[in-house]
C-alpha cells in the first residue's frame, strides 16, 4: 500500500520541533535514538510526526521554514 507521504516534520513528546525528514533511513535513526533510552535513561518517550503528501509540499515548506526561524 502506497500512502504517498513524502515529507515529515518530527516533534519530541514535549512539542518541540526536532527535525524535518524525507527518508526511511532518517526514521531508522530516530528509532535508534528512542531505543537508546533503554540503555541511557529516558529523555524523550515518543515523537509526534506530521506527515505531508505530495500535494501538500508547499505547506510542509511553510511550516518547516516557520520552525527554523530564530
Strand partners, 10: 19, 49
| C-alpha–C-alpha distance, residues 30 and 53, integer Å | 20
Domain range annotation of the chain: 5-68
Give kind and range of the element (H or E) at residue 22. Answer: none
How many Cβ atoms from other residues are within 10 Å of residue 45's Cβ?
A: 10
Mean pLDDT by groups of 10 residues along the chain of 70 residues: 84 95 91 87 90 95 93
pLDDT of residue 1: 55
* CA distances from residue 44 to 16, 53, 54, 70 in whole angstroms, order as listed: 11, 26, 29, 23
Model confidence, pTM: 0.85
pLDDT at 49: 96
Amino acid at each position: 500500500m502506497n500512502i504517498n507521504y513524502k515529507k515529515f516534520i518530527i516533534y519530541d513528546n514535549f512539542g518541540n520541533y526536532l527535525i524535518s525528514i524525507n527518508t526511511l533511513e532518517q526514521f531508522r535513526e530516530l528509532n535508534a535514538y528512542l531505543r537508546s533510552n533503554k540503555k541511557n535513561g529516558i529523555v524523550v518517550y515518543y515523537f509526534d510526526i506530521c506527515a505531508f503528501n505530495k500535494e501538500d509540499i508547499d505547506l510542509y515548506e511553510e511550516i518547516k521554514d516557520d520552525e527554523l526561524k530564530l
